[in-house]
Amino acid sequence: MDSIRDKLRLSFLAVILVSHIIYNPTNSGAVTLTQQTIDLTLASNELVIINFYVNWSRINYMLYDEAADKVTEIFPDAGKVVMAKVDCDKESAIAIRFRLTKYPTFKVIRNGHPDKGEFKGQISVEGFVSFVKKQLEDPIKEFHSIKELSKLESSKRIIIGYFDRRDQHEYNMFRRVAGNFKDDCQFHVGFGNASEQMHSPGQPVIVYKPDKNDINADDDTYMGKMDNFDEMHGWILNKCVPAVREITFENAEDITVEGLPFFILYHKSDDNESIKKYNEVVQSELLSERQNINFLTADGKTFAHTLRHVGKGESDLPLIAIDSFKHIYLFPNFKDIDDPGKLKQFIQDLYSGKLHREFHYGPDLDDANKNVKALTTPPFNNKNKNVAPSKILFL
């Protein structure tokens, strides 16, 4: 009996050891990710740098492994940072998932969420190490008295945390979430005497202050759980990132990296009325969808090339479309934006696969929305068959 128990104990320890090596490797250069291991690795680490490569695109393959070993030496704590690699010749499903357009690509995943930027620095051990150090810098500025807060730049969105100590678990959670939004908001924190008048001992407080130009927004206090990453992340997302953003040639690639379908209003350059109406509907009806889809506006003149690929021109504006990265689906009539629930149903039809089905097989004659039209670019000829519609933005 003891022999069986010992064997079971050894088997259990072996499983634990193998799992640790797979998901928290620390002694083997860059971690090789597969379809089976990638999700747990991304979820288990604060920062993951991924080298997506194919056989013909290897840039000093051993150099990246050397950099990974150096990073592990500097940041040995499990769950802090992992430098990983994906062979996209073998793991094509992962390449499709991250919508890669070039190799090698070095993507940054922070707390399971793709970062807006990528590594584009010097391809060297020192370059990668310096980049990782920069990414792990505390994104929060500390204040030492309440008076300092009156001098904060009022044209920026601001998140302020009041905590007892820096080593609080709640502060570590706040710091991690702040890392995901360091480019969207200013983050400030006070500890001990600097913040004691703003909160009760043992009960940290997080407050949002809008920028001075946002006349419709008020100060707000986070009422969720301080130890729940997703809950805090969602609250700060809603405060720091506008529900509707303008897409331009300059930011299009960064928005694409986020991996969410585009829900775009194409408008004439001087058409502020349609932009206002679109923003109102998104704010009143569609905010619950923002973690699944990107709400955007686009100047139709700037993206005239894109519109031509879906058979539209400036005279057809304003119009609304969903770019799923496979096809572009057009909302039938912009005037229906005033009909409650129409835009939300359009999004639900994307999720259910209805828009994709109608694109390939035509509208369902029994459906009340049978006139929904799905248009795409001409990429399905031999010349451009691998170009997704959104890639037109970069042509």
Q: Where are the domains of the chain?
A: 2-135, 140-240, 244-394
Provide the pLDDT for residue 183.
86
Mean pLDDT of 15-36: 64
For residue 199, which phi and psi values (nearest 5 degrees)? Answer: -160, 160
Residues 6+ apart with CB under 8 A from 237: 181, 290, 291
Residues 6+ apart with CB under 8 A from 176: 46, 111, 229
Is the pLDDT at 16 greater than 50? The verdict is no
Name the 3-class secondary structure at 26: coil
Strands 81-87 and 31-32: parallel
State the pTM of this model: 0.68
pLDDT in tens, 292-325: 889 999 999 999 998 998 899 999 999 999 998 8
Is the pLDDT at 6 greater than 70? The verdict is no
Provide the pLDDT for residue 9.
53
Of residues 324 and 16, the one with the higher pLDDT is: 324
Which CATH class name applies to 140-240?
A: alpha beta
pLDDT in tens, 215-265: 667 899 999 999 999 999 999 998 998 889 999 988 887 788 777 899 999
CA distance 42 to 28: 18
Is the pLDDT at 393 greater than 60? The verdict is no
Look at residues 360, 281, 351, 279 and name the one whose alpha carbon lies nearest to residue 322. Answer: 351
Residue 51: Cβ within 10 Å count: 26
Provide the pLDDT for residue 316.
95
Look at residues 267, 200, 275, 193 and name the one whose alpha carbon lies nearest to residue 242. Answer: 275
If you average pLDDT over every residue of the chain, what do you get? 84
CATH architecture classification, 244-394: 3-Layer(aba) Sandwich (3.40)
Look at residues 248, 392, 376, 238 and name the one whose alpha carbon lies nearest to residue 310. Answer: 376
Provide the pLDDT for residue 115.
84
CA 246, 272, 265: angle at the middle one, nearest 5?
45
Structure token pair of residue 241:
């990132």
Provide the pLDDT for residue 392.
44
**Can 140-240 and 244-394 be said to share one CATH topology?**
yes
Give CA separation, 320 vs 101, 247, 278, 384, 391, in Å. Answer: 26, 14, 9, 24, 18
Contact assessment for residue 310 and residue 376, using Cβ atoms and an 8 Å cutoff: yes
Residues 6+ apart with CB under 8 A from 297: 244, 245, 246, 247, 264, 265, 266, 267, 275, 278
Superfamily of domain 2-135: Glutaredoxin (3.40.30.10)
Mean pLDDT of 361-378: 54
pLDDT in tens, 43-88: 999 999 999 999 887 777 789 999 999 999 999 999 999 999 999 9
Q: Phi-psi region for residue 60, left (φ > 0), alpha (ψ -120 to 50) or beta?
A: left
Secondary structure of the chain: what % helix, strand, coil (to 5)? 40, 20, 40
Name the 3-class secondary structure at 301: coil
Lowest mean pLDDT among 226-240, 276-290, 348-362, 363-377: 363-377
Provide the pLDDT for residue 384.
33
Give CA separation, 218 vs 1, 51, 157, 239, in Å. Answer: 68, 42, 11, 10
Of residues 23 and 114, the one with the higher pLDDT is: 114
